[in-house]
Structure 1
Amino acid sequence: MMENIEKKFDAEQVIEDFEVITKNVGRIQEETLGKILQQNGGTEYLKQWGMNGRTDVETFKACVPIVCHSDLDPYIQRIVDGDISPILTGKPVQAISLSSGTTQGKPKFVPFNDELMNSAMQTFKTSFAFRNREFPIEKGKAMHFFYSSKQFKTKGGLAASTGTTNVFTSPQYKKIMKDWSTPVCSPGEVIFAPDFKQSLYCHLLSGLIFRDEVQVVSSTFAHSIVHAFRTFEQVWEELVVDIREGVLSSRVTVPSIRLVMSKLLKPDPELAETIYSKCSSLSNWRNLLLSINIDKNTEKYLQLAVEAASKHLVDKKLEVMDFTSHVNVSADPGHYVISWELSGEATDEILQECCDCLDKTFLDAGYVSSRKVNAIGALELRIVKRGTFHKILDHFVGLGGTVSQFKTPRCVGPTNSSLIQILSSNVVKSYSSTAFF
């Protein structure tokens, strides 16, 4: 059912195709699996499991085991190092995509070829078609917080970069954007800037310049929008100066960005005064941000517990700016640790109430029963310094990721020692729950 990406974009047809294939998901999944097995039946990986060219679901289930990325890593590493034989895919691997690295503390290599590009394009088309049907952009602009990253060559000569970079630099994506005829606020040079902080600053500046035309604000992940709003809170006064004087801040040093932004930026004292007046009267934005700063449904219990506990902060006009969790297995019994970054100072009494509330409202059945018999120890709430989660973001970007791919990991795995070290070294207060005593 994959739409030919060379055809003229037809939003209604994309929606119709999507509705058709989602009415009988089981059949479509089996057909898709069959096509994958047919295209890749000659690969080393499938041959070793005795598929022998068969493409039915039953044989696949019986022969091929369930695996995770670490099981496939030796095969992928051979591809990265230059082995061009059909190891995992029948079609040649043309590039390597890097994951965000938020799961295990370092990016994972993912083979990237035409099939993945087509799937990515179909995803972009489908999301755009549905969104534009409900929220059409009419004589306006889209404000996309999109970012690219640097590419590098692997030992085997393959170009490696984040998945979004592979997509944004592709001819297919550029053709789609042209077909959509959707003007965006930021010039392309901003998206492909080598420094994401400078890129974000110019995204914000572009959005303010075209403030009357912005009809859509979007990003690959919700966290990028959250991060953009937080950054705006920190730099809005500098943006006001840029707009008032018509001169780009010295913080932007990339020549290509300075050149293109200078063409957009003109002195506008009236707009500068409007922004200054509105922003100086705002004291808190983060109740909304917390509600969208999550992207994994499997972590719903943690999200609900944090939302419930943070209500204890409302009377003091305090908010949870960001949070994450990990398991402390060095103690006996082990226990959960939840780290909060707050917008201000809270009393020990209030934070103890928050800690107890977190423990009581974490409604996973296995957790509750284990807490009652002390198989899991008392939940620990740690308050970290302001800026700790920015350090985590900087850490992942330093590993080769981009802001547009970054998601604050809500549950940090025990092997992610770098992230746990960042959290541990920035703790200012710690509380243990008394909820089950």
Structure 2
Amino acid sequence: MERIFYVKTVTCRVWTKARDYISCSLNQKQGPGGLLARPVLTSYYQSEHFKTRPYDPYNVYTSPNEAILCPDSFQSMYTQMLCGLQDRHQVLRVGAVFASGLLRAIRFLQLNWEQLSVDIETGDLNPKITDPSLRECMDKILKPNPELARFVRRECSKENWEGIITRIWPNTKYIDVIVTGAMAQYIPTLDYYSGGLPKACTMYASSECYFGLNLNPMCKPSEVSYTIMPNMAYFEFLPHESNSSKFTLDSSPKLVDLVDVEVGKEYELVITTYAGLCRYRVGDILRVTGFHNSAPQFHFVRRKNVLLSIDSDKTDEAELQKAVENASRHLREFNTSVVEYTSYADTKTIPGHYVIYWELLVKNAANSPTDDVLKQCCLAMEESLNSVYRQGRVADHSIGPLEIRVVKNGTFEELMDYAISRGASINQYKVPRCVNFTPIVELLDSRLVSAHFSPGLPHWNPERRR
């Protein structure tokens, strides 16, 4: 019998032999007409389909419904972590909807393992858990286990957390998590915490519609392609070279039907759903990789129009991520990696310049990267950006030197908490790769550790433009 360990508050899912550990965002709003607006996973977990689900030996959760549905994210996460630790030998797979969610769960364990071990040792629940139904439920589950408490203390008190997932849950076979698109930058950190476990990207979906499946879930993250399921909606595709931002049923760019897409070309996904969305632009850019029978298969490229711009330059999400990846190579000899990043187009300076916020995982504090190394990271990023950007830096002097601002560990967790406090769904949250909202910029700057500027100009050849 397989159990599922799924933390939905941080969108983390850990599959086990007997039960599942789930945490969920119960974020929802009521519109002017009285209808509820909420993410699809919130809708599912609040529904009778979930609450009265029939027994399934492959989907028995480690956490009770009370923990899953608790509206307080701390209480929900805390009790689910307790359940997950108690069933640690039954865990077969660990995962999340997004990679950032799984890392947030690990961070929660880092911050709370001491109190969790006390609860496990004594069998008494933390007084911070105040929800009556949750306390009543956990009183039936939580029993004194001094041996497990000693194990948790021994493993979590170590400075080195490499392989912590397989150390805590030794029977884990793979990680079930989305690591395509912008989530690819989490792969090195996931490898660090999981000891290099395989990463399975199983599905492609959104709150608007379920799109497709990965028929080869154990492939490398870079090779993931999703097969579109044509019975889920009516799918059309807007060739990516089209720059039109608006279209109507009467006047629109040339849309391509599902069966007419061409291998190697990129398209923006357009859907018409059973729920009533008509030619809705999802905002995802997909590249056709092949066909399964007559159904096309797509590689997720990026979200559309996530840009940094100072002058005439335009930097999208994929290009920014590639620049971060190239720059982070300078950190390898220091056993350091970029855990999280976002960016900001600072136009207050003259000329304006790109600001990249980095949160670093330094595995050996005695060998942390120096100021000179981080300056070289700035230059490496600039070398990776497009020719229009580099022309602005070198020839036009319309863009200032790129700046990397290193922030304290946990800063991006605070950023997520801030977004949730303003109504964002935990289950749907993704770290914004570009920010311009003043309170967010102020939050990031308030956690500043150091700032580093590009020490020189990137290469630019006016005869060859990329």
> If the TM-score is normalised by the length of the shorter chain, which range does it land in?
0.5 to 0.7
Match of 1:289 in 2: 190
RMSD of aligned alpha carbons: 3.3
Count of paired positions: 299
Alpha-carbon distance in 2 for matches of 1:366, 1:250: 58
**Do the aligned partners of 1:151 and 1:159 also contact (CA within 8 Å) in 2?**
yes
TM-score (normalizing by structure 1) = 0.60
User: Counterpart of 2:88 in 1: which secondary structure?
Assistant: coil
Correspondences of 1:18-417 after superposition (within 5 Å): 139-144=17-22, 146-174=23-51, 178=55, 182-285=59-162, 287-289=188-190, 297-298=302-303, 299-343=317-361, 346-360=369-383, 362-373=384-395, 374-412=397-435, 414=436, 416-417=437-438
User: Counterpart of 2:82 in 1: which secondary structure?
Assistant: helix
Relative to total residues, which structure has the larger helix share, 1 or 2? 1
Match of 2:195 in 1: none
Match of 2:445 in 1: 424
**Do the aligned partners of 2:339 and 2:361 also contact (CA within 8 Å) in 1?**
yes
User: Counterpart of 1:220 in 2: which secondary structure?
Assistant: strand
User: Counterpart of 1:411 in 2: which secondary structure?
Assistant: coil
Gaps of 5+ in 1: 1-99, 101-127, 129-134
Q: CA deviation at 1:280?
A: 2.9
Q: Moved runs in structure 1, 4+ residues, more than 6 A?
A: none
* AA in 2 matched with 1:359: E
**Do the aligned partners of 2:343 and 2:357 also contact (CA within 8 Å) in 1?**
yes
Alpha-carbon distance in 2 for matches of 1:203, 1:428: 33
Gaps of 5+ in 2: 1-8, 163-185, 193-198, 200-220, 222-299, 304-316, 363-367, 459-466
Match of 1:84 in 2: none
Post-superposition CA distance 1:323-378 (Å, at most 9, x none): 11121223343321100123467532332233223322x34454344434334332
* AA in 1 matched with 2:325: E
1:229 to 1:223, Cα distance in 2 relative to 1, 3 A:
same
Alpha-carbon distance in 2 for matches of 1:409, 1:264: 38
The yes-or-no answer on 1:433 pairing with 2:415 is no
Q: CA deviation at 1:169?
A: 1.3
Alpha-carbon distance in 2 for matches of 1:394, 1:364: 34
Alpha-carbon distance in 2 for matches of 1:388, 1:140: 35
**Do the aligned partners of 2:51 and 2:65 also contact (CA within 8 Å) in 1?**
no
Q: CA deviation at 1:433?
A: 0.8
**Do the aligned partners of 1:341 and 1:383 also contact (CA within 8 Å) in 2?**
yes
Alpha-carbon distance in 1 for matches of 2:52, 2:399: 54
Q: CA deviation at 1:317?
A: 4.5
**Do the aligned partners of 1:381 and 1:431 also contact (CA within 8 Å) in 2?**
yes
User: Counterpart of 1:212 in 2: which secondary structure?
Assistant: helix
Larger radius of gyration: 1
User: Counterpart of 2:62 in 1: which secondary structure?
Assistant: coil
Relative to total residues, which structure has the larger strand share, 1 or 2? 2
* AA in 2 matched with 1:424: D
Compare relative contact order (CA 8 Å, sep 6+) and give the higher one, 1 or 2: 1
